[in-house]
Chains A and B, each alone.
Chain A
Amino acid sequence: MNAAGSLGFAPDQHSPVDWSRLGAFVTNPVSLTPRTPAHGRRFIAYPGGFLLHTGYPNPGINQVLRRYAGQWSRSPIPVIVHLLCRNADEVAKMTRQLEPVEGVMGLEVGVSSEASPEMVAAFTQAASGELPVIMRLPVERCTELAPVAIQAGAVAVSLAPARGEYPVGNGEMVRGRLYGPANLPLALRVVHETTQMGIPTIGAGGVYTQAHKDAMLAAGALAVELDSVIWRGAGYRILT
């Protein structure tokens, strides 16, 4: 699978990606109302990876449905819509909008890195209905929150990118999501721990080679989500 935010809102039939190499397509994060790009510095490279702070821009659920529902219905692989919500009411509202859409085979619901166990349970319950729910949890807190998500009805958990901050001079720090192979050891440890707990886990974070993917599966991952490796030479070595 691709990770949310790595391949856009719908599988582009004209793209060079061989979609049959993916088990499912995960959309960019979609929010109830439109979100604009983050201001200021959005990309910082460092050894082993990079920090991205984009604000997950998207046109909101109504525009996304207008623009992409047709492509989802024609998708050669199952489509999983990633929900970016501020509260459980938003999760419930978007879930009801997505359930009747042809081609949508599941929901992945993100939570903030500060989410409480109660919020994770509430988000999971709000998304539960006709579609299977994957809860995307902060990798640093996955072992704490994953049992809550599963108990509340999620079929699996996936790992959100770690968050960090990086100095950009003048004492200023930029906060954002961390990508790149430097994240693999942490992701592998978390996958190992959650699967040992009997929690179906979709591994993600730092997978850049076939060997990384194999290690993730050997650690017990149900599936693997690819993120920024797809952008590196379009990830052709993995997806073509």
Chain B
Amino acid sequence: MLASDLDNPEAVLGIPLFKAENAMQGFWAAPPIPVSWRPGMNLDLVGPLGHGFDLPREVRRLGLVALGETVSRLMPLVRQTAQSQVGMTMFTDLPLPAAPASLEAYPLASLVEALDWPDYLVFDLPLEHLPELRSVLGLPVGTGLTCPAQVLLTTSMPCAGLAHCGACAVPTRRGWKLACEDGPVFDLNQLKW
């Protein structure tokens, strides 16, 4: 969703906010958040925008790859999946928050060697790093992953879907899509990468 600090004249636009965890009377948001935000302040929330992860029931070995500035946006999926019999492995160089015991964690460098383990992969990836994903995975041009994958593409969404402004446009095999409306989670195989 989009959060705006309407009392701060210097906050010109809203900030995309991702839920990290449910709370008694609301939710915990995934960091980072603006340094100007203080406890007790009022925020104007618009959303939810777009759609999130949607894992098939058949998944048994889930690989999670955090390539952004936090793993927190993947944690709701981890907590949800921890209640099932699905094995989970996180590949990241980022610090991990308190996580279910069923989640194993490995450095990002081990991902290339472990790509034959998961039967489903999810990524948290800044949109501007999409062109680099192939080299992160060690995949030559013309080859693809052996398992299906979804990717949460983080990017600026200045109009929050109100204007179809195109700032968050994502290249897909079926033309351009907007992260604010058609994402921010996409089927990786539908993207041009």
CA distance A5 to B164 in the complex (A): 8
CA distance A180 to B166 in the complex (A): 18
Closest-by-CB residue of B relative to A40 is B128
Partner of B164, one of A28, A41, A49, A208: A28
Given known A-B contacts A6-B159, A230-B162, A231-B160, A179 and B167 have beta carbons under 8 A apart:
no
Partner of A50, one of B9, B158, B175, B176: B158
Q: Is B14 interfacial (CB-CB < 8 Å)? A: yes
Binds B, one of A52-60, A85-93, A114-122, A125-133: A52-60
User: Which residues in chain A, 190-240, are within 8 Å of chain B measured between CB atoms?
Assistant: 208-209, 228, 230-234, 236-237
A47 touches B166 (CB 8 A): no
Q: Is B10 interfacial (CB-CB < 8 Å)? A: yes
Contact residues in B for A47 (Cβ distance below 8 Å): 10
CA distance A232 to B159 in the complex (A): 8
Contact residues in B for A36 (Cβ distance below 8 Å): 169, 175-176
Interface size band for A = 35 or more
Q: Is B132 interfacial (CB-CB < 8 Å)? A: no
| B residues adjacent to A (C-beta < 8 A) | 2, 4, 6, 9-14, 44, 46, 128, 156, 158-160, 162-167, 169, 175-176
**Interchain residue pairs with CB less than 8 A apart (9):** A6-B163, A42-B166, A45-B13, A52-B165, A52-B167, A54-B167, A230-B162, A234-B46, A237-B6
6 A-B pairs closest in CB distance: A233-B44, A233-B4, A37-B169, A54-B166, A37-B166, A57-B166
| A residues adjacent to B (C-beta < 8 A) | 5-9, 15, 28, 36-38, 41-43, 45, 47-50, 52, 54-57, 179-181, 208-209, 228, 230-234, 236-237
